[in-house]
């Protein structure tokens, strides 16, 4: 019988081999260098056999004697299953959207259609200044809230310092943790955290499209503190270095871990910056630094909070587009009408959907699930308790169904 450590090592090696077939697959790896595969990629059919054998071996590991072992194995098993699904996908066998959500991210997100979003659009009609087409009105209204590229360093720097300060007051991460920020272009995402190990992240911001002021705290918290940078640093500290659980030294993008990573990074924005504190920091610090009149913050953020209710539009469009129910033109029209994104932005979003498929659910449903899970565990109106619950979840990760079962 194999031990969990042996299964974990095989999982890491399998993941790295899958990564040779798709450059986005392995998002981070900081385990032993001699676990890297030979230069010549293994054939997909052979990889599939390896993955199925690993799955059978993993199912044979007995964990009934210990809760911690059981938790670890449940999480690992969901990841091995996701690897099998992803190899199938690389072989051209795609599941329908909702089956893919379950197979790769271990959840079944709720389904919303136009009638749900129409109600949100009606609220926005009343809230956004101006007349006529809502998408154009919103676009015109937002122009004033762009952060110009020459101010981006200062504005983003202030936001990340504040997010870091707020996070480190409650979460204990290694003292030598650090990050660099780089401006890049020509990407399907708006920002990315590349975790390099040893508590270090490279955070990239994409300047293809303007960055609006609301994105500044979102990105600082999501990519940095208490988002991806902190999550990865906690995993490395507690699980990889502390317990020697090597399956955590690799982070596969298309796996259940992403639901928690994106979900907690999004929910972490609100944990670090509750509404009133955020409003104060925006109007006293960020708006002045960006040269935007501070008295305009209140309405802008009221509109943003309603816009947030449109985040599930991505799932609706991705499902219809990937399941072949709508074509490119119809998908862009749906994004423009219901996500209220410009035509150019909608095309970029569709490229993101093509590249990442059901991954879109990790942001919205991931966020809601993390929020619900924590509300069931701690008093989320008590800041210290909420931070403790948040930090515990990041240090002892759960998949979607593990959060739902708790």
Quickly count: other Cβ atoms within 10 Å of residue 68's Cβ: 10
Contact map string, positions 207 to 246, toward Zn ion, x by CB under 5 A: ----------------------------------------
Q: How far is the CB of 10 from Zn ion (least distance, A)?
A: 28
Nearer to Zn ion, 236 or 262 (CB): 262
Q: How far is the CB of 57 from Zn ion (least distance, A)?
A: 32
Select the span of 196-204, 257-265, 284-292, 392-400 touching Zn ion (CB under 5 A). 257-265
Nearest Cα residue to 342 out of 206, 113, 142, 132: 142
Give CA separation, 365 vs 260, 322, 401, in Å.
10, 18, 12
Q: How far is the CB of 193 from Zn ion (least distance, A)?
A: 7
Contact map string, positions 118 to 157, toward Zn ion, x by CB under 5 A: ----------------------------------------
Nearer to Zn ion, 79 or 229 (CB): 229
160: phi then psi, degrees, rounded to nearest 5: -75, -35
And the tokens for 381? 């109106």
And the tokens for 275? 């509404």
Q: How far is the CB of 256 from Zn ion (least distance, A)?
A: 15
Say if CB 331 and CB 350 are below 8 A apart: yes
Q: How far is the CB of 264 from Zn ion (least distance, A)?
A: 10
Contact map string, positions 327 to 356, toward Zn ion, x by CB under 5 A: ------------------------------
Contact map string, positions 1 to 30, toward Zn ion, x by CB under 5 A: ------------------------------
Nearer to Zn ion, 200 or 267 (CB): 267
227: phi then psi, degrees, rounded to nearest 5: -80, -135
Nearer to Zn ion, 50 or 314 (CB): 314
Give the separation between CA 243 and CA 239, rounded to whole angstroms. Answer: 5
* 3-class DSSP state of 36: coil
Say if CB 206 and CB 184 are below 8 A apart: yes
Q: How far is the CB of 222 from Zn ion (least distance, A)?
A: 6
Nearer to Zn ion, 76 or 265 (CB): 265
Select the span of 120-128, 163-171, 263-271, 369-377 touching Zn ion (CB under 5 A). 263-271
Nearest Cα residue to 54 out of 9, 95, 102, 103: 9
Q: Exposure of 309 by Cβ count < 10 A (0-12 exposed, 13-18 middle, 19+ buried)?
A: middle
Name the one residue in this structure whose structure tokens are 């006529």: 132
Q: In angstroms, what is the C-alpha Rg of the chain?
A: 21
The site that binds Zn ion (CB under 5 A) totals a number of residues, namely 2
Q: Is residue 398 left, alpha or beta, with left meaning phi > 0 and alpha meaning psi from -120 to 50?
A: beta
Select the span of 54-62, 84-92, 258-266, 387-395 touching Zn ion (CB under 5 A). 258-266
Nearer to Zn ion, 4 or 265 (CB): 265
DSSP for 57-70 reads HHHT---TT-HHHH
Nearer to Zn ion, 262 or 314 (CB): 262
And the tokens for 346? 């909608």
Q: How far is the CB of 403 from Zn ion (least distance, A)?
A: 18
Select the span of 8-16, 146-154, 264-272, 379-387 touching Zn ion (CB under 5 A). 264-272
Nearer to Zn ion, 265 or 378 (CB): 265
User: Scanning residues 189 to 208, which ones bind Zn ion (CB under 5 A)?
Assistant: none
Pairing between β-strand 200-206 and β-strand 178-184 as defined by DSSP bridges: parallel
Nearest Cα residue to 160 out of 133, 138, 179, 183: 179
Q: How far is the CB of 191 from Zn ion (least distance, A)?
A: 8
Nearer to Zn ion, 319 or 362 (CB): 362
- Identify the DSSP state of 339: I
Quickly count: other Cβ atoms within 10 Å of residue 166's Cβ: 20
Q: How far is the CB of 17 from Zn ion (least distance, A)?
A: 25
Q: How far is the CB of 262 from Zn ion (least distance, A)?
A: 5
User: Scanning residues 265 to 304, which ones bind Zn ion (CB under 5 A)?
Assistant: 265
Find the helix packing angle between 114-127 and 134-142, rounded to 10°.
Answer: 50
Nearer to Zn ion, 103 or 191 (CB): 191
Residues that bind Zn ion (CB under 5 A): 262, 265
């Amino acid at each position: 019988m194999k031990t969990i450590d042996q299964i974990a090592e095989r999982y890491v090696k399998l993941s790295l081999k899958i990564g040779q077939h798709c450059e986005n697959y392995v998002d981070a790896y900081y385990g032993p260098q001699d676990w890297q595969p030979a230069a010549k990629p293994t054939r997909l059919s052979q990889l599939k056999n390896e993955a199925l054998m690993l799955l059978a071996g993993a199912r044979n590991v007995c964990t009934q004697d210990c809760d911690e072992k059981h938790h670890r194995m449940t999480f690992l098993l969901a990841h091995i299953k996701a690897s099998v699904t992803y190899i199938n996908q690389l072989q051209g066998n795609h599941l329908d959207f909702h089956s893919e959500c379950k197979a790769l991210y271990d959840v079944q997100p709720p389904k919303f259609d136009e009638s749900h979003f129409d109600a949100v659009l009606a609220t926005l009609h009343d809230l956004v200044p101006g007349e006529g087409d809502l998408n154009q009105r919103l676009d015109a209204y937002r122009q004033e809230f762009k952060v110009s590229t020459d101010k981006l360093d200062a504005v983003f720097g202030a936001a990340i310092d504040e997010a870091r300060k707020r996070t480190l007051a409650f979460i204990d991460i290694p003292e030598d943790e650090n990050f660099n920020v780089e401006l890049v272009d020509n990407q399907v995402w708006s920002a990315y955290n590349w975790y390099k190990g040893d508590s270090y992240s490279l955070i990239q911001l994409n300047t293809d499209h303007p960055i609006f002021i609301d994105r500044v705290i979102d990105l600082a918290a999501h990519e940095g503190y208490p988002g991806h940078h902190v999550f990865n640093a906690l995993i490395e500290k507690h699980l990889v270095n502390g317990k020697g659980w090597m399956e955590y030294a690799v982070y596969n993008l298309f796996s259940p871990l992403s639901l928690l990573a994106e979900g907690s990074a999004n929910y972490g924005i609100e944990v670090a910056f509750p509404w009133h504190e955020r409003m104060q920091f925006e109007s006293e610090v960020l708006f002045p630094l960006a040269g935007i009149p501070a008295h305009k913050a209140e309405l802008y953020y009221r509109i943003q909070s309603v816009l947030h209710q449109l985040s599930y539009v991505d799932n609706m469009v991705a499902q219809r587009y990937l399941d072949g129910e709508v074509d490119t033109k119809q998908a862009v029209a749906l994004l423009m009408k219901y996500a209220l994104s410009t035509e150019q932005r909608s095309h970029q979003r569709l490229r993101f959907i093509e590249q990442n498929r059901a991954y879109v659910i990790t942001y919205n449903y991931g966020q809601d699930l993390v929020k619900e899970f924590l509300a069931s565990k701690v008093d989320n109106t008590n800041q210290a308790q909420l931070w403790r619950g948040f930090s515990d979840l990041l240090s002892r990760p759960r998949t979607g169904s593990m959060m739902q079962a708790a």
